[in-house]
Amino acid sequence: MDLGKVNSQPVVVTAITSHVSAVLIRGQLKYIKDNNFLPVLVSSPGQSVRDLAAVEGVQLYEIPMEREPSLFKDIGSLFRLIMLFIRLRPAIVNAGTPKAGFLCMIASFVCRVPGRVYTIRGFRHESLSGVRCWLMKCCEKLSCTLSNKVVCISSSVALQGLNEKILKEESYQLNGIGSSNGLNLDRFDPTRTDLTPVNKIKENIGFKNDNFIIGFVGRIVDRKGVDELVDAFLRLNSQYPHTRLLLIGPYEAEQSVSDVTLDRIESHVNITRLGFVEDVENYYRIMDLFVLPAHWEGFGNVLIEAAAMEVPVIACNVNGTKDAVSDGFNGMLVPPKDVDALHDAIRSYILDGELRYEHGRNGRLWAQKFSNVLIWEDLLKLYRSLLTIKNA
């Protein structure tokens, strides 16, 4: 179906590689739709994008895209994208995540789509080396070159892109002061009356009221700093037996944590892993401290979520996460892969209740700077400017 012929609204294609990345654009498509655009979602098949498309009332096209390089499959995906863009004749294509960005920028350039936006959510080559690192950087540079505008989700990501000559100064923008998709402050509000009582959640997990709960939300992979977090926790737990570590997120075979860490997570009586949870805002409420010691991130959305729920946070002073924490105001930044520094930072919150309270209270103020509406407003301005250029 040619959407351009049945609707006078400009068609905007938003593309992601994996269906699990649907969370990165939640609410954005409906906002664009409510502002006189016709959004279309493109992603690899999966329930998450089907649910997102249904909730936000947009058309979904499922095109398989491999996260890892796969020459023949990538060519097949590229061909299907080109054929789809020929049919849809979009005014704008906005693709995020490396593989979707790479394939969609090529396809939209071939199809002469007037508005081509590449959203950089972090540089994956930071966790690669050798030929794979070089190849990924080349792909990133080509994606940026073929786009009309690059959206960086954090200042540190933009600076890295400039330093590595992936980006040009005039070619990119931040939406708001950064973040992947902004934060729904109504959802992440500790005063909500419909949230599950804290005591009930603790009881369901097996925690006691006097436990000091250290929380983590994210994929259980090495680059998220899970190895260092578990090491630091075990040292702390021997000193402060009332501490508990709560890990929320799925395991992944790729970039997995070490076998030693995996065994500790599964066997230690004071470490609890829940896997993925839909209502994560309920679980932030039981945390005394939130820790994300990632080696790099595009931004660090979970840090803002925890802050909005008035939980003090600890992260590493690296790309992405350092943009999501106000060091000394709502949390602390520590050097990456430094178990001693991580241990000492967590310990300071265990021992200092006033510091914990102050940084938690300040977190709500900090999180308000990242309202999703502020992010979407800047994205809408970009889309309108691209239409102006097209019609000039």
Per-residue model confidence (pLDDT) at position 390: 58
DSSP secondary structure letters along 202-239: HHHHT--TT-EEEEEES-BBGGGTHHHHHHHHHHHHHH
Per-residue model confidence (pLDDT) at position 4: 45
pLDDT > 70: percent of the chain: 97
pLDDT confidence tier of residue 20, bands split at 50, 70 and 90: confident
Per-residue model confidence (pLDDT) at position 317: 97
The residue whose two tokens read 């609204």 is 9
pLDDT exceeds cutoff 80 at 392 = no
pLDDT exceeds cutoff 80 at 233 = yes
Using alpha carbons only, give the angle 228, 17, 292 rounded to the nearest 5 degrees: 20
Rg of the Cα trace of the chain? 21
Neighbours of 391 (CB within 10 A): 8
How confident is the model over 79-103, as pLDDT tens digits? Answer: 999 999 999 999 999 999 889 999 9
Between CA 73 and CA 263 the distance in angstroms is: 36
Question: How far is the first Cα of the chain from the last one, in angstroms, to the nearest whole number?
Answer: 28
Per-residue model confidence (pLDDT) at position 68: 83
Between CA 25 and CA 97 the distance in angstroms is: 12
3-state secondary structure (DSSP) of residue 60: strand
How confident is the model over 102-122, as pLDDT tens digits? Answer: 999 999 999 999 999 999 998
pLDDT exceeds cutoff 60 at 3 = no
Per-residue model confidence (pLDDT) at position 253: 72
Write the CB contacts of 344 (distance below 8 Å, at least 6 apart in sequence).
none
How confident is the model over 292-331, as pLDDT tens digits? Answer: 999 999 899 999 999 999 999 999 999 999 999 999 999 9
CA dihedral of residues 305, 151, 293, 16 (deg, nearest 10) = 80
Average pLDDT, integer, range 14-39: 94
Average pLDDT, the chain: 93
**Is residue 229 within 8 Å of 291, Cβ to Cβ?**
yes
Domains parsed from the chain with CATH numbers? 3-182+372-391 (3.40.50.2000), 198-369 (3.40.50.2000)
Average pLDDT, integer, range 226-231: 98
How confident is the model over 165-199, as pLDDT tens digits? Answer: 999 888 899 999 999 899 999 999 999 999 999 99
Average pLDDT, integer, range 328-350: 98
Strand partners, 52: none
**pTM of the full structure:** 0.89
The strand order across the sheet containing 289-292 reads 271-273, 243-248, 212-217, 289-292, 313-316, 331-334
